[in-house]
């Protein structure tokens, strides 16, 4: 078996594993976000500033996750371009 082909298979496996794991993590985080939203709706005792902090935190977390995914995808793309040469 050609070494380049073997590394390509390993790369494909690692990319698929990352994508699957990342998607599972996203589903878990989205579920936690829904729970937090439900709790915020029911927590009438929580002041507006407290709600805003929690909402901003959730938004920052989501943005960070999306940035991380974009960076990883760009890195995978660079490796894929190498294998296409």
Domain ranges in the chain are 3-84
Asked whether residue 78 carries a pLDDT value surpassing 70, the answer given is yes
CA-to-CA dists, residue 27 to 33, 44, 55, angstroms: 10, 27, 18
CA–CA dist 77, 48 (Å, integer): 43
Tens-place pLDDT, residues 8-65: 899 999 999 999 999 999 999 999 999 988 988 888 888 888 888 888 988 999 999 9
pLDDT confidence of residue 76: 94
The answer to pTM > 0.85 is no
Confidence of residue 1 (pLDDT cuts 50, 70, 90): low
């Amino acid at each position: 078996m050609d070494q380049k082909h073997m590394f390509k298979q390993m790369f494909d496996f690692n990319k698929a594993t990352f994508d699957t794991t990342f998607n599972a993590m996203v589903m878990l985080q989205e579920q936690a976000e829904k729970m937090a939203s439900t709790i915020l709706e029911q927590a009438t005792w929580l002041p507006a500033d407290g709600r805003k902090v929690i909402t901003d935190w959730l938004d920052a977390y989501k943005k960070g996750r999306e940035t991380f995914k974009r960076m990883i995808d760009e890195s995978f793309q660079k490796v894929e371009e190498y294998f296409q040469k």
